[in-house]
Amino acid sequence: MSLNRYFKLLKKFNHNKRLSLKSKKLLILSTDSNDFLINCSIAHVLVKLGHKVTLFIQNSGQSLNKNFYGFSSQKNFSSLIKVIIKNKINVEYGEEVVDKISNISIKLRKIIYRQTQEDVQRILKNPVYEKNKKNKKLFEQIEKKNFNFAIKFKSFVKNNEFDNYIIDSGSWAEYGVAFSILQELGKTITCYGYRNDKNSIMISKNSPFNNLNIDEAWEELKNNPISKSNFTIERISKKKFYKKDVFLNFHREDPLNKEIIYKRLFLKRNNYTILILTNLAFDTTVLTKKTNYLFKSHFDWLKRTIDFLIQKKNCNIIIRPHPAEKLTNCYMTCEKYINNYLEKLGESFTILPSQTSINTYGLIDIADLGLVYSSDVGWEMVLKNKPVISGGMGAAWGKNIQYDPKSLKDYFNKINIFIKNKKVTVPNSKKINALKFMNFYMQEVPKTFPFPLFEYWNKHTFNEAGRIFQSSTIPKKYKKTFEDLSDPLLSRKGVI
């Protein structure tokens, strides 16, 4: 969709001329062209709610001109900025400042170094970071960019006071650097992020989005009675669920019945079936330190798990890569990693390719045990009465849903226990918690949001944005979301 159409919407913006009694000074950071329209839209809605909003733009309009059709000159970008300012939004460009790198603490420098490593892995879509000449050059470019931003942003924040700082995710590129600076300075931070849903976001207070820190929210809501939900494990396992309101269509086929899977994969019926379900290996939720509490990395978990299972007899071991590997053009797929870094596996192993059409939930039906890293499919398996052992700290970790080991020894011991005691069933308490978690994680946590990633904007999105921008009030279904984004008084750490 053309940026010019968005430009026209902003020209018709109807802002709230009176500041609210609850008016706050808010800073919204925008450092990436793909996020600019989202952050700009958030800024306009918050102005409509009566807040004083500053939009801090780190990169110039050149990146916008480069990435969006119909926005072809710096002059047009300047015109856009004039309209934004006319709509009562203060704009800061993040201009060069006279400051020294010595003003960046040693702790923050280490954080920026690690952030740069993760940025390289994400850009290359490959968590196996090889220190060759090409990658070294890329690392140096990104590190310089992150440090330059850190100097500018820290100087700006120290010289300008805001009640709340709103940033995308807080976990990659300048957003990750910004979060660390704001945390060091004791500021109130609100992070937001998208899941695989065009109609909602998750909001996290004072914790990066990729940490998926939901413990405080879960403690508040876990004892609530289970309400009727739009989500069921049967619904999310069918291809119909992935046709409309998702960014990525994970499943284009319905689950196969057991007989077909046994025949197609040449599985031995009397063997114990272990299903290994991987994450998207370059996802920021997988690269974070929190997730990797037992293993060095997602691929370290995969390798050591496979090495451990090689010696096991009378087992069917199926490795199903995350469906997003194909959809995101992941460079280092699980299949490629196994072929490159592991010895040839025996006939007990079945490694499905990224492009497999076999629905994950059909595989769950034939499995006796699930091994996951930090993927949501772990708690989904429990809903289908299958025991699951996690290797990484995901959202469901520590909720008495999966079996969450405390050490490497505990992890491998748990696998042994299930293989030796094939009749072990999932305790009812874990199934109840999994059901509560689905209701909590799929209905309570997501906040209704009108602005999907800009590449997914369609006629309906533009029409909805037009109604919001031109109306004198915010539609009720969105108002709470923007109140949560702007509220600096929510003391909770993590997802709200």
Domain boundaries, the chain: 3-214+445-495, 233-444
- Tokens encoding 382: 């429990």
Q: Read off the pLDDT band of 61 (50, 70, 90).
A: very low
Regarding predicted confidence, which is higher, 103 or 197? 197
Regarding predicted confidence, which is higher, 430 or 287? 430
Q: What is the pLDDT of residues 452-466, one digit of tens each?
A: 998 899 999 999 999
| C-alpha distances out from residue 422 to 144, 382, 387, 452, Å | 54, 16, 11, 45
pLDDT at 99: 59
Q: What average pLDDT does the segment 247-260 reach?
A: 93
Q: What is the pLDDT of residues 376-406, one digit of tens each?
A: 999 999 999 999 999 999 999 999 999 999 9
Domain 233-444 has CATH 2.40.70.10: no
Dihedral of the alpha carbons of 381, 382, 385, 386, in degrees to the nearest 10: 60
Query: Rounded CA gap, 314 and 422, in Å?
Result: 12
164: phi then psi, degrees, rounded to nearest 5: -155, 145
What are the residues facing 195 on neighbouring strands? Answer: none
Cβ neighbours of residue 169 closer than 8 Å, sequence gap 6 or more: 175, 176, 191, 192, 193, 208, 209, 210, 284
Q: What average pLDDT does the segment 225-230 reach?
A: 76
pTM of the entire structure? 0.91
Tell me which fold the domain 3-214+445-495 belongs to.
Rossmann fold (3.40.50)
